[in-house]
Amino acid sequence: MRIGELAAQTGLSRDTIRFYERTGLIDGQRLPNGYRDFPPETVPWLAYVRTAQALGFSLTEIARTGEELRDTPDSAQALSALFEEKIAVIDARMAQLAALRADLTARAGSGCPLRAAD
């Protein structure tokens, strides 16, 4: 299918599809007339990409895990493992942000907030 049809079916802009192609998330073949041609399985893959982005995965993570999941016989189990890894990353980041917030709160209203806390 051509890029316009792919854009219509996925709700993505042509520019986004071109970006995904440049970054290697999707593969399109060039026809002799220069048009891009994408296989039908690109539509569900792009739905996966959009969902994964909404769940906080970066395009780099999506590209890496997409390759892994294609070779995994039980992708539901593999996805659950990826989600657990992502949750651990989020928990660690939340702890870092809580510590940062506590430090900023302790410094706010002090004589010189940029001095080391005692």
Residue 3 pLDDT:
94
SS3 113: coil
Write the CB contacts of 18 (distance below 8 Å, at least 6 apart in sequence).
3
Write the CB contacts of 36 (distance below 8 Å, at least 6 apart in sequence).
2, 3, 21, 28, 29, 30
Q: Which two tokens stand for residue 16?
A: 């986004």
pLDDT digits (tens, 9 = 90+) for 21-67: 999 999 999 999 989 999 999 999 999 999 999 999 999 999 988 87
Global pTM value: 0.74
